[in-house]
Amino acid sequence: MSEKPKKENYGADSIQALEGMEHVRMRPSMYIGDVGVRGLHHLVYEVVDNSIDEAMGGFCDEIDVVINEDNSVSVKDNGRGIPVDLHKKEGVSALEVVMTKIGAGGKFDKDSYKVSGGLHGVGVSVVNALSIHLRATVHREGKIWEQEYERGKTMYPVKPIGETDFRGTVITFRPDEEIFKQTIEFSYETLANRMRELSFLNKGITISIIDKRNKDEKGEFISDIFNSTEGLKEFIRFLDETREPVIGDVIHMEGEKNGIPVEVAMIYNTSYSENLHSYVNNINTHEGGTHLSGFRRGLTHTLKKYADASGMLTKLKFDIAGDDFREGLTAIISVKVGEPQFEGQTKTKLGNREVSAAVSQSVSEMLENYLEENPNDAKIIVQKVILAAQARHAANKARDMVQRKTVMSIGGLPGKLSDCSEQDPAICEVFLVEGDSAGGTAKQGRDRNFQAILPLRGKILNVEKAMQHKVFENEEIRNIFTALGVTIGTEEDSKALNIEKLRYHKVVIMCDADVDGSHIETLILTFFFRYMKELIENGHIYIATPPLYLVRKGAKKKYAWSDEERDEIQKEFGEGCKIQRYKGLGEMNAIQLWDTTMKPSARTLRQIVIDNGAEADRVFSMLMGDEVPPRREFIEKNAVYANIDA
């Protein structure tokens, strides 16, 4: 997860109706979602997607990504090479058409199997328009051809520059700082995670990535090579590395139904959470859609049928619900759809009706066979489902207690909540504060008009390890639910969230800037990630950043958020500075806390977003799960906060 600037919605229709490179530069968010960190990385994905397309057509099996020293990125593939011959209609080289005409990508190759995702296929010309410089080099039929562009404008006609034995395409681009004002610095971690994901989703392709900006302790550039021979099966093993499986191996199926390629992999583990990740044309469909509902239907139908036939349910006093079949389930569903219709707030929900039956039938067939052939695993799965149903009943009772309180609104707010006077959720904020003492300071320091304070006692429950009913019985967690006004669970789906009544549009986690504080922050984030993911997805969750130092000299004083900043202030003030290190929020008085951390005009809030759902799931299960060794390794590598809030 990471921070991100406010998103701008864009529709597929507006992309169709577009004209010209100028328009891309005028309204970049319409094409790439935003011009922050996320949009920046999308540029790379768009270029790589073209190479993935080429690989899916069977013409390419190697893609190399290089982050160059100057923060430009090169993507090289060993495909057929973008054609360089004259494009009759346009009167220039086909390469130039691909690079400079919006929506031209792949137009002249209709027969090829082109379903990869990118930004819903806006094309590499968009990347070109948003780059200060781009160079396209094509190796074809013994010759090397080249063309360069500045902000999307052709610098010279395509020209031959040498001879070659290689066949393929190399694109090197440097994002335009005029467009990406926030930063043009690529994150190796983010790009590598996506390349890994792509290699799992498209087995057989070798994708390498190398960062030429930094060397490791051995003096070598940081790099990874991803190659998956088993596709989603390996993806599941990777995601569930720190979870304990309850069945022998990953259940994996690949097939085609009604012309729709469907690949599914799944396993049951000892955890209580459900981890479903779905993809359409390599795009992570966060909001699900018809493929996901098809999967759910197929799974429920088949397992229910098997359980009924096995006679294991006769003693059960209550019904089994859909989500009982998915407790402790990790699954990935990947489909390729010719003309995907994306819906939903973030356009990541598949709308195509025909896909539902295709996936549901595929899953039913696969599972039926699997259960027949693996009666031991089948028994384990059914027993697990029964346990989940029993636990759900206990959880429902506990949850109803929470919700009954919520419904009795006024009297129902937690006693520890110091509410604000304003009623409009859009302008209200609530601070979840570590500890009663810091809570007290925050209460004095806040602007009571729109800022509410909810102190949390010590470490909140680790929801990654707890069963659902324990989560709902936990007092701190109940306080969070009641304070936020959010309810959870319907008859159909015990985890469905009702966020319409959300009482504050900013939920700010405020912890000490030390190891314990980070741990508590992670616990709270884990809770939101597992139980209120929509709040994160809708951009409601923030982290406050209290300062680390106060530097004083005479009447002058300044706060510092890092050692470097502290040193700079010291230089500025000169000899004789007094430095106070804040070990916790409790060491600040109310005015200081307001001035540095709570006052809207001065504070920095980090908004939490999920960059890569599968990776976030893995990180949380690793950080918060049972298996200690990988967690320690992970924390020692210090990638933790890079992944969660960087």
Question: CB neighbours of 535 closer than 8 A, spacing ≥ 6?
Answer: 486, 497, 499, 502, 507, 528, 541
| d(C-alpha 644, C-alpha 552), whole Å | 33
- Beta-strand pair 143-150/497-498: unpaired
Task: Say if CB 50 and CB 109 are below 8 A apart.
Answer: no
Nearer to ligand 0RA, 172 or 612 (CB): 172
Question: CB neighbours of 320 closer than 8 A, spacing ≥ 6?
Answer: 304, 307, 313, 385, 386, 389
Question: CB neighbours of 525 closer than 8 A, spacing ≥ 6?
Answer: 1, 509, 541, 608, 620, 644
Nearer to ligand 0RA, 99 or 337 (CB): 99
Select the residue whose beta carbon is closest to ligand 0RA and give its number.
50
Shortest distance, CB of residue 79 to ligand 0RA, whole angstroms?
Answer: 4
Nearer to ligand 0RA, 98 or 232 (CB): 98
Catalytic residue among 19, 308, 514, 626: 514
Rule CB under 6 A: which of 55-74 touch ligand 0RA?
none
Sole binder of ligand 0RA in the list 2, 3, 40, 50 (CB under 6 A): 50
Sole binder of ligand 0RA in the list 34, 46, 77, 324 (CB under 6 A): 77
Shortest distance, CB of residue 90 to ligand 0RA, whole angstroms?
Answer: 15
Shortest distance, CB of residue 152 to ligand 0RA, whole angstroms?
Answer: 17
**Residue 515 burial (C-beta neighbours within 10 Å; 0-12, 13-18, 19+):** exposed
- Contact call for residue 612 and ligand 0RA (CB under 6 A): no
- Contact call for residue 169 and ligand 0RA (CB under 6 A): yes
- Contact call for residue 46 and ligand 0RA (CB under 6 A): no
**Hey, what are 74's tokens?**
């090169």
| Stretch near ligand 0RA under the rule CB under 6 A, chosen from 48-56, 188-196, 243-251, 573-581 | 48-56
**Interaction pattern, residues 554-583, with ligand 0RA; x per rule: CB under 6 A:** ------------------------------
Catalytic residue among 234, 512, 521, 615: 512
Residue with tokens 């049972």: 626
b/e map of 374-396 (b: 16 or more CB within 10 Å)? beebbeebbebbbebbebbeebb
**Interaction pattern, residues 81-110, with ligand 0RA; x per rule: CB under 6 A:** xxx----------------------x--x-
Shortest distance, CB of residue 83 to ligand 0RA, whole angstroms?
Answer: 5
Active site residue 563: no
Nearer to ligand 0RA, 173 or 235 (CB): 173
| Stretch near ligand 0RA under the rule CB under 6 A, chosen from 47-55, 186-194, 367-375, 383-391 | 47-55
Catalytic residue among 34, 189, 327, 434: 434
- Contact call for residue 51 and ligand 0RA (CB under 6 A): yes
Question: Which helix (H) or strand (E) covers residue 277, if one does?
Answer: strand 275-280
Shortest distance, CB of residue 187 to ligand 0RA, whole angstroms?
Answer: 23
| d(C-alpha 637, C-alpha 127), whole Å | 33
| d(C-alpha 544, C-alpha 520), whole Å | 13
Catalytic residue among 447, 516, 534, 568: 516
CA distances from 425 to 439, 481, 536, 637 (A): 21, 15, 16, 40
Shortest distance, CB of residue 93 to ligand 0RA, whole angstroms?
Answer: 13
| d(C-alpha 454, C-alpha 419), whole Å | 8
Task: Say if CB 67 and CB 91 are below 8 A apart.
Answer: no
| Stretch near ligand 0RA under the rule CB under 6 A, chosen from 18-26, 50-58, 409-417, 435-443 | 50-58
Shortest distance, CB of residue 240 to ligand 0RA, whole angstroms?
Answer: 34
Shortest distance, CB of residue 63 to ligand 0RA, whole angstroms?
Answer: 9
| Stretch near ligand 0RA under the rule CB under 6 A, chosen from 79-87, 187-195, 204-212, 577-585 | 79-87
Active site residue 617: no
- Contact call for residue 322 and ligand 0RA (CB under 6 A): no
Binning the chain into helix, strand and coil, the percentages to the nearest 5 are: 40, 25, 35
Active site residue 512: yes
**Residue 89 burial (C-beta neighbours within 10 Å; 0-12, 13-18, 19+):** exposed
Closest CA to 493 of 356, 349, 325, 610: 325
**For residue 377, which phi and psi values (nearest 5 degrees)?**
-60, -40
Q: Provide the terminal-to-terminal Cα distance of the chain, rounded to the nearest Å.
A: 7
Nearer to ligand 0RA, 81 or 340 (CB): 81
Active site residue 70: no
- Contact call for residue 48 and ligand 0RA (CB under 6 A): no
Count helices and strands (H / E) in the chain: 22, 28
| Stretch near ligand 0RA under the rule CB under 6 A, chosen from 65-73, 77-85, 386-394, 473-481 | 77-85
**Hey, what are 234's tokens?**
């390996």
- Contact call for residue 79 and ligand 0RA (CB under 6 A): yes
Question: Which helix (H) or strand (E) covers residue 22, if one does?
Answer: helix 20-26
CA distances from 414 to 331, 406, 422, 479 (A): 37, 9, 18, 6
Nearer to ligand 0RA, 77 or 473 (CB): 77
Sole binder of ligand 0RA in the list 80, 196, 558, 606 (CB under 6 A): 80
Residue type, 542: Y
Nearer to ligand 0RA, 53 or 476 (CB): 53
Nearer to ligand 0RA, 82 or 456 (CB): 82
Sole binder of ligand 0RA in the list 3, 34, 46, 54 (CB under 6 A): 54
Residues belonging to the active site: 434, 512, 514, 516
Point out which residues bind ligand 0RA (CB under 6 A): 50-51, 54, 77, 79-83, 106, 109, 169
